[in-house]
Structure 1
């Protein structure tokens, strides 16, 4: 399978990266952390003007009509910038599921215009992100995926990541628009993509610090004890990227093995982000644990997303069940099936 990024995808990704690097700085994160709402109308407006809410919305409804493979590339950039707004939930998870359901052209147009936000509720999570500002909810009842409007009532909860706005679940209701598994798999995939972007951001911060922090008359990045730890984390990050792309293709094609590929992606991305967070802390030394170092914003997001949409045990169990149960044959004869 060819995972080479096309010129159009590279241009889009770089454009989003450059934009977010200019407007979603650590200073912005600190300002959000100091605010009551942890949200910014200006940030959301900027994301809308970039066209991000409509990435996966069809062109007929004012979107760009891009693919899930494009979505994971953009999700990684959202993670890299530490974006707190619920753009990933609405644009990269809810939108394609609503498109697949059909008959929701008005809502899709509102999503593309940045006027509608969709919260995601699933039994695997004991919370719902950004429910307080959501206009709609995708939730699960039985084996069905339900879509309904939301009036804004919600009970705020605490999170290890102060920039996440988590709320207690509400009773699921609404119109059936799909199956329950589709929400879990799409959300876990986008979480995995964000985790890789977060890991890349922490790698950049750790590398910059290692180049600038001197000890014994030379940068600490010249010491093998630092270089080897960073190199190990880089390998985990790079190995996770094609796994995520493979899962995106499997979901797009409706492959029967897509859930297993998604679980593989979530595990690989979470392990990479966890390893990178530990390495970044160690590289920064005692400073790595302090609020004054920007690193903590990305570490907390990594810790939160690692357990979202199925933790390590959940996804490992899905892979074990498929391999041991024979649903996913392994070995040389099946590598490229």
Structure 2
């Protein structure tokens, strides 16, 4: 049984990472925050890479790839703290529309001409919608109030939670990189603070949690692709693991930076705020914990070594 990601998947994710690193760095985040948190040029670049059509079938002008492919790209969007509504439209709305047999907007989404804001009752808000504007802890998210007729479709919830989890592991990776780089250049007692065991151990502990969360997220994406009966539980597990790892990395990165880690002058705060926002999106920790608990205690999810590869 093959559990490794394919070379094509890794190459695609690396290509998106390289592109976003060159076009969506901290300087761009600061410009978006200070002037306008949307830039048509950024969206145009994403469209030219074909990312809005990643999951759109080929007959509708897309690439026809899988949710696992999309989760890997969503992680890179998290790493870049991408402001544009790519994930919500291309990786959440598109597979939901396909599952419903609704192909009316797929061509326009693949070409970048249209985005698809979706509301779910578990959220109470819509990202990049047209309703009453709401305040977000993350200044790069545009939220509006959800209408009272928002859907409670469980498939949409699972897609949103899965892609939030994928973004969270990318966000955590970015915060780890920033903390490590700072630990190399910040000197205390005549040497970089990264040389002290206390700093090393905190970073190592947070890194272990992150690396254990990643395969949980990829497994959830594969379960969704396969349509397994336990896919919802794997998604909730992924949201919990990714959220906990990202929050731990947030706390660790702030500690490494010291008190200045909270300030606007340090780039870290962009990823920290996105982390806080996504942890509460598409189901709180309590919501997903209950789904996992109910499945295990209720007996619908068999656990133990004999069930690992079923």
Distance 2:109 2:20 in 1: 20
What is the Cα deviation at residue 280 of structure 1? 0.3
Match of 1:25 in 2: 25
Match of 1:300 in 2: 273
Q: 1:197 aligns with which of 160, 167, 170?
A: 170
Q: How does 1:172-183 map to 2 (within 5 A)?
A: 172=149, 180-183=153-156
Residue 167 in 1 paired to residue 144 in 2?
A: yes
Check the 8 A contact 1:57/1:65 in 2, yes or no: yes
Distance 1:113 1:318 in 2: 37
Check the 8 A contact 1:188/1:308 in 2, yes or no: yes
Distance 2:81 2:178 in 1: 13
Q: For this pair of structures, how many residues does the alignment match? A: 310
Check the 8 A contact 1:3/1:245 in 2, yes or no: no
Match of 2:9 in 1: 9
Distance 1:265 1:61 in 2: 30
Residue 233 in 1 paired to residue 217 in 2?
A: no
List structure 1 segments (4+ residues) > 3 angstroms apart after TM superposition.
Answer: none
Offset from partner CA, 1:278-299 (integer Å, 9 cap, x none): 0000000111010000000000
Distance 2:4 2:10 in 1: 10
Distance 1:17 1:67 in 2: 18
What is the Cα deviation at residue 336 of structure 1? 2.1
Check the 8 A contact 1:214/1:220 in 2, yes or no: yes
Distance 1:280 1:207 in 2: 8
Residue 330 in 1 paired to residue 306 in 2?
A: no
Offset from partner CA, 1:260-289 (integer Å, 9 cap, x none): 100000000000000000000000011101
Distance 1:191 1:313 in 2: 16
Match of 2:261 in 1: 288
More strand by share: 1
Residue 127 in 1 paired to residue 104 in 2?
A: no
Distance 2:200 2:17 in 1: 26
Distance 1:336 1:307 in 2: 31
Instruction: Give the direction of change, closer, same or farther, for the CA distance of 1:188–1:170 in structure 2 (3 Å limit).
Output: same
Distance 1:169 1:236 in 2: 34
What is the Cα deviation at residue 225 of structure 1? 0.5
Unaligned runs of 5+ in 1: 133-153
Match of 1:97 in 2: 96
What is the Cα deviation at residue 228 of structure 1? 0.3
TM-score (norm 1): 0.90
Check the 8 A contact 1:3/1:242 in 2, yes or no: no
Offset from partner CA, 1:220-267 (integer Å, 9 cap, x none): 001010000000010011101110111111111111111110000000
TM-score (norm 2): 0.97
Q: How does 1:201-212 map to 2 (within 5 A)?
A: 201-212=174-185
Aligned partner of residue 4 in structure 1, secondary structure: coil
Q: How does 1:56-135 map to 2 (within 5 A)?
A: 56-104=55-103, 106-132=104-130
